[in-house]
Amino acid sequence: MAYQALYRKYRPKNFAEVIGQDHITKTLSNQIKNNQISHAYLFCGTRGTGKTSIAKIFAKAVNCEKSVDGSPCNKCDICKNLSNASNFNVQEIDAASNNGVEYVRELRENVKYTPVGCKYKVYIVDEVHMLSESAFNALLKTLEEPPAYAIFILATTEPHKIPETILSRCMRCDFKLVEIPALESLLKKIFADSKITCDSIAINLLAKLGEGSVRDTLSLADMCAAFSNNAITYETVIQCSGTTDKSTLHELALSVVQKNSKKILEIIHDFSKAGKIISKLNKDLVEYLRDVIVIQTSENYMKILVYPENIIDGMVKISKIATPSNIIHLLQKLSSLEQEFRFTTNQRALFEITLLSLLEESSLESRVSALEEKLKTMVLP
C-alpha cells in the first residue's frame, strides 16, 4: 500500500479527535444537537490548526442521521458518501487559485441545486481573503439570502482582509495555536500506533518546532521517521529540521558573554559556510538566551526546560558568567534584529556588527563601573 503521510492518516474523523480547539468543536456540536446551525461561518487561524478538518467533520455532522453527541457517526451511508472527496454535497473551493468574480458566479449557480441524498450542501472556501472585491460582492449576495440547505464555511489565515459586510454575515470561530502538551500527546499516540520509537525529549522538540500547527508538527515527524528508520532521536530532529544545534548556540553564547570576538567571528563563519541562514541562527540564539534567563530566575528550571542534560549544563555555565541584566540587554538587541534582517541584503554583516558592538558596549560599561568604584575610594581635594 502506498505510504500515507501522518497528517492525512491521522486526520480527525469526529469532533472529539480534534486537538486544541475545544472552544470551537463544543460550540459547533452543541449547535448541531440543538438544531441551531448558522448558514455562514468564518474560520480564522494560522495554517495547520484544523480549519479544514473541522469544516469537513461539520459537513458530515449536519447531515448524519445517527450523529453521536453532535459528531458524525462515520458509519452510515451519508457519512460514507460525504467522505468521498468528489461528493456533490461538500464542495471545497480554493480562493487562492479561483479568486475572480466569474468563479463566484459559478458558485452562485451551483447553490441553486438542492443537495442529493442528504439535507445540507456545504461550501468550504479556503483562503477566502484572496477573493477580489467584485468576487466578495457576488458572494455577499448569496450570503444575504442563502437557501435553507446551503452552509458556507469561509476559512482564512488573514481575517483582517475580509470586508466588514461579509464578516457581519458570518459566525466567526477563531482557531488557536495548538499548545505544546497537546501536540506532545498527539505525537505519543501516533508514534505508538505507527510503531515509531521517539524519546520524550525528541517529542518535546518536535512539538516546539511545529509552532502550534498540527500539520507542520506531523510533517516534520514524518520526515524524521523516514530519515531515522522509525527510531527518532533528539539529534534526528535537529538534523531534519535544520534547527541550529545547541552546541553551536552554546559556543556562540559563551563567546559573547566571555567577550571573545575572534571566536564569535569563527562560529559565524563556519555557520555561513555550511549554507545556513543567519536570521535563523539569531532566532535560535534568542531562544537559547531566553532559556538561560529561565535558569537565572527560576528554581524550577529543570521542570520548565526539556533538554538533554549536557545542554542544560551548558546553559547553567552561561547563567553563572553573565548577570540577568546582561542577558536581557542581549535579548533586546538580538530580538530587534529580527525586524532589521528583512531590510538588509547582508544578514551576516549585520549580525556580526551587532554582536561585536555589544561587546564594545559591555567593555565600556565595565570600564565605567570600574572607574566609579575607584572614584569612591579616592579622596578628592
Interacting residues toward Zn ion by CB under 5 A: 64, 72-73, 76, 79
**Cβ closest to Zn ion, residue 73 vs residue 312:** 73
CB atoms within 10 A of CB 323: 12
Pairing of strands 150-156, 121-126: parallel
CB-nearer residue toward Zn ion: 71 or 296: 71
Q: Rounded to the nearest whole angstrom, what is the least distance from the CB of residue 63 to Zn ion in the complex? A: 8
Quote the least distance from Cβ 243 to Zn ion, whole Å: 43
User: Whose Cβ is closer to Zn ion: residue 60's or residue 246's?
Assistant: 60
Q: Shortest approach of Zn ion to residue 76 CB, angstroms?
A: 3
Q: Smaller CB distance to Zn ion: residue 61 or 355?
A: 61
CB of residue 78 to Zn ion, shortest distance in Å: 5
Q: Which three cell numbers stand for residue 116?
A: 442529493
Least Å distance between CB 73 and Zn ion?
Answer: 4
| Rounded least distance, CB 146 to Zn ion, Å | 24
Q: Are strands 40-44 and 171-174 parallel, antiparallel or unpaired?
A: parallel
| Helix residue ranges, H only, 275-344 | 278-297, 301-304, 309-321, 324-340
End-to-end Cα separation, the chain, in angstroms: 92
Using the minimum distance from each CB to Zn ion, give the nearer residue, 63 or 319. 63
Taking the least distance from each CB to Zn ion, the nearer of 79 and 268 is: 79
Least separation in angstroms between CB 77 and Zn ion: 8
**For residue 232, which of 276, 188, 287 has the smallest C-alpha distance?**
188
Classify residue 257 as exposed, middle or buried by CB count within 10 Å of its CB (0-12, 13-18, 19+).
buried
| Nearest-angstrom CA–CA distance, 156 and 134 | 18
- If we measure between CA atoms, which residue out of 18, 15, 19, 39 comes closest to residue 28? 15
Q: Which is nearer to Zn ion, 73 or 265 (CB)?
A: 73
φ, ψ for residue 172 (rounded to 5)? -90, 130
Where b means 16+ CB within 10 Å and e means fewer, 173-203 reads: bebbebebebbbebbeebbeeeebebeebbb
By beta-carbon proximity to Zn ion, the closer residue of 19 and 64 is: 64
Q: How far is the CB of 31 from Zn ion (least distance, A)?
A: 17
Question: Which CA distances in Å does 188 have to 144, 203, 224, 318, 363?
Answer: 46, 8, 14, 33, 48
Smallest gap from Cβ 118 to Zn ion, in A, equals: 10
Minimum distance from CB of 14 to Zn ion (Å)? 10
- At residue 304, what is the residue type? I
Give yes or no for a contact between 301 and 265, defined as CB atoms under 8 angstroms apart.
no
Between 16 and 359, name the residue whose CB sits nearer to Zn ion: 16
Question: Is 42 strand, coil or helix?
Answer: strand
CA gap 257, 249 in Å, rounded: 12
Distances (CA, A) of 329 to 140, 321, 334, 335, 355: 51, 15, 9, 10, 12
Give whichever of 32 and 178 is closer to Zn ion, judged by the CB atom. Answer: 32
